A and B are shown apart, each in its own frame.
Chain A
Amino acid sequence: EVQQMAKQKAHELFSVCDIEQKGFITKRDMQRLQNELPLLPDQLEAVFDSLDDDGNGYLTLEEFTEGFGSYLGINFMG
């Protein structure tokens, strides 16, 4: 149940970043957040890089959710 709630929250936060609802987040989307979040551009870029597991420049919901899970200490795998 906790996992379910966390996934739901991750989904919600994902759509905050993915304004155009493309289904993925780019670095450009991330940079747009710097107006709203108290993070520096290079911090946002570092966050993006650490969430973008396969490093293809597109942050998927799965990658985002997994990152959110590790922030919460929840493992969604398995």
Chain B
Amino acid sequence: KPGTAPGSEGMLANFFNSLLNKNPKGGTP
């Protein structure tokens, strides 16, 4: 898609990784 800056994918991955690590619920309720 247009407007996706180069390198933004790595940044997104970094962001989601950090978010996932911050929120390690994982298990079923």
The distance from the CB of A56 to the nearest CB of chain B, in whole angstroms, is 14
The distance from the CB of B17 to the nearest CB of chain A, in whole angstroms, is 9
Q: Which residues of A contact B22 (CB under 8 A)?
A: 16, 36-37
B4, B9, B12, B13 interface centre (most CB from chain A within 10 Å): B12
Q: Taking chain A's interface residues, is the majority helix, strand, or loop, or is none over half, making it mixed?
A: helix
Interface contact B12-A67, CB-CB below 8 Å: yes
Query: Size class of A's contact patch?
Result: 20 to 34
The distance from the CB of B29 to the nearest CB of chain A, in whole angstroms, is 11
Inter-chain CA distance A52–B28, complex, in Å, is 30
Question: In A7-48, which residues have CB < 8 Å from any B CB?
Answer: 9, 12-13, 16-17, 33, 36-39, 43-44, 46-47
Chain B contacts to A: CB under 8 angstroms: 1, 3-5, 8-9, 11-16, 18-20, 22-23, 25
